[in-house]
Amino acid sequence: AQSVAQPEDQVNVAEGNPLTVKCTYSVSGNPYLFWYVQYPNRGLQFLLKYITGDNLVKGSYGFEAEFNKSQTSFHLKKPSALVSDSALYFCAVRALYNQGGKLIFGQGTELSVKP
Amino acid sequence: NAGVTQTPKFQVLKTGQSMTLQCAQDMNHNSMYWYRQDPGMGLRLIYYSASEGTTDKGEVPNGYNVSRLNKREFSLRLESAAPSQTSVYFCASSGPTEGRLRHTEAFFGQGTRLTVV
């Protein structure tokens, strides 16, 4: 079965410092991986995805993610955090084959960036 | 371009009452989904519809029913609401699962915050 894990419920970072939000996955076959962000009382917004190709994927708002097949990880990164990056972040994997393309989500990581 | 629209945004129900959550998308997407979000549990799939006329159970379907009315609309019904169904509900849609566009991302509505007392 496919699954996604986000090992940290919360990540605290000072503004201007680099940030990493961790994600590991378990799939059979090639994974299709996504990161979404949720601001308070809002829906989920797409940040970036890995389908194939370069292991470093660049996305919206200066975020990037590094795909590591040997470690089955897809960590979200940003070189310099902003207070406005504070939000809930979700990693997800797309189900394969005849499942309507549904996404399987991790439990989410609350990112807090302090001035 | 409205994307995915959910109604209502907020709802309070008494135990045993019924209601239908509405969802519509204007992106001509084939697949639509209903998720619920609970603290510490991420988003869990309730039902999905891979195409007009088909629906399938997700991870937590008990207590819910769905209807894919047409390609645009996918509704979620609670026949007899229970306090355990207090949650935030999200509808989402995504494009084709085959072909060149098969890896497009899913788009989410703004959510319905449901409280069952």
Q: How confident is the model at residue A53, as a pLDDT?
A: 84
What is the C-alpha to C-alpha distance for residues A32 and A85, in angstroms, rounded to an integer?
A: 24
Q: How confident is the model at residue A98, as a pLDDT?
A: 62
DSSP code per residue over B24-50: EESS--SEEEEEEE-TTS-EEEEEEES
Cα separation values, A110 from A37, A75, A87, B55, B58, Å: 10, 14, 6, 32, 25
Q: Does residue B102 or residue A73 have the better pLDDT?
A: A73
- Does A105 sit within 8 Å of B31, measured CB to CB? no
Q: Smallest Cβ distance to B103: which of A32, A102, A106?
A: A32
Tell whether the model's pLDDT for residue B22 goes beyond 80. Answer: yes
- Using left for φ > 0, alpha for ψ between -120 and 50, and beta otherwise, residue A53 falls in left
Q: Does residue A51 or residue A15 have the better pLDDT?
A: A15
**Six-digit token string for B60:** 């937590």
Which of the residue ranges B1-5, B40-44, B106-110 has the most confident prediction, judged by mean pLDDT?
B106-110
What is the C-alpha to C-alpha distance for residues A101 and A115, in angstroms, rounded to an integer?
A: 39
Q: Which residue of A has its CA nearest to B31?
A: A100
What is the C-alpha to C-alpha distance for residues A30 and A32, in angstroms, rounded to an integer?
A: 7
Average pLDDT over residues A13-35: 93
Q: Quick one: what percent of chain A has pLDDT higher than 90?
A: 77
Average pLDDT over residues B93-106: 74
pLDDT, tens only, B29-73: 989 999 999 988 889 999 999 888 899 999 999 999 999 989 999
Find the angle CA(B104)-CA(A58)-CA(A30) to the nearest 5 degrees.
55
Tell whether the model's pLDDT for residue A12 goes beyond 80. Answer: yes
What is the C-alpha to C-alpha distance for residues B93 and B50, in angstroms, rounded to an integer?
A: 10
pLDDT, tens only, A43-57: 899 999 998 888 999
Residues of B in contact with A101 (CB under 8 A): 31, 50, 94-95, 97, 102, 106
Residues of A in contact with B43 (CB under 8 A): 44, 90, 103, 105
Average pLDDT over residues B89-97: 87
> Under a CB-based contact definition with an 8 Å cutoff, are residues A81 and A113 in contact?
yes
Q: Does residue B51 or residue A76 have the better pLDDT?
A: A76
Q: Quick one: what percent of chain A has pLDDT higher than 70?
A: 97
CA neighbours closer than 13 Å in the CB half-sphere of residue B76: 34
Residues of A in contact with B92 (CB under 8 A): 44, 103
